[in-house]
Amino acid sequence: MVTAEKAYGKINLSIDIVGKMEDGYHAMRMVMQSVSLCDDVTVRVTPGEGIAVKTNLRYLPNDARNIAARAAAVFYEATGITGCRTEIDIKKRIPVGAGLGGGSADGAAVLRALNRLHNTPLTAKKLESLAEKIGSDVPFCVRGGTALAEGRGEKLTEVSPLPDCFILICKPIFSISTPELFSRIQWDKIQLRPDTEGILRALHEGSLSGVARRMYNVFEDVLTKERDDVETIRDTLLDYHAQGAVMTGTGSAVFGLFDDENAAKGAFSALKATYPECYLVTPVRKLDV
């Protein structure tokens, strides 16, 4: 049995940290959006045992450290299905260390694929619950679309979709360590925060400009050596008439929302020479799982 899944990346229209939970994790409040930039994940199940992962990037682990392998192990543990050899082939397109959720998207795609191959023993809600065991962004990536994510990211509320637009994503040549950025931030001393409620209202009203002008990421406040490139990319996006621009996740990628494709293409050309990892994409609606 074999099936293929698109593992869609994500951007954060806003990120706020609203406290610390009893387990030590930061309490997040984020508006998340799926985008058409994706990895291709192929899953093959045959009689036998074991989980094998192969990717087109040599530096990625192909053992239990890979989130796709962990997703398969969690699925089989939850369902009690045995006697299956599972081979996972991932063609990576989403850049690593960018804040675009590439690993989380791959893990979610494996959950969807195995659920389909085994005749859908689990509901979408159960898949999202399993996804919590794999990573904070994985529950969102199971179905994607547009959502308010709270807690560690696992508490999801579906919200009105982002209006049709063009999204230009640009990644600097460096990546940013998520644990390092979390270690720099003091949530109770954050002064500038996103207008999350305003973003949700703008989504409900179908106002792209209303969303874009309210976007903010509190992690930008604690950038150090990374700040110059992030600001250069953001300023270029705005110079080419992006409705708004902000860093996604813990970086390092920055994105801008455009209502005009030609303007987005102009920004793409301007940035591509300095920053080769540029992607012109569109929003993706919630998947039917």
Sign of CA dihedral 201, 203, 207, 210: positive
Per DSSP, helices labelled H in the chain are 67-79, 102-117, 124-131, 138-143, 178-184, 196-205, 208-212, 227-239, 261-272
Sign of CA dihedral 108, 90, 95, 186: positive
92, 39 Cβ separation under 8 angstroms: yes
Tell me the angle at which helices 124-131 and 102-117 cross, rounded to the nearest 10 degrees.
Answer: 140
| Phi, psi values for residue 115, rounded to 5° | -65, -40
Residue 221 annotated in active site: no
Q: Which residue in 16, 39, 106, 137 is the catalytic one?
A: 137
Enumerate residues 6+ apart whose C-beta is below 8 A from 191. Answer: 221
Q: What's the angle, vertex CA 46, arms to CA 45 and CA 49, rounded to 5?
A: 95
Residue 10 annotated in active site: yes
3-state secondary structure of 43: strand
Using CB atoms within 10 A of its CB, is residue 153 exposed (0-12), middle (13-18) or buried (19+)? Answer: buried
Q: Which residue in 10, 16, 39, 92 is the catalytic one?
A: 10
Q: Which residues pair with 28 in a beta bridge?
A: 17, 151
Quick one: DSSP state of residue 283?
B
10 Å Cβ neighbour count for 103?
26
33, 105 Cβ separation under 8 angstroms: no
Which residues belong to the active site?
10, 137
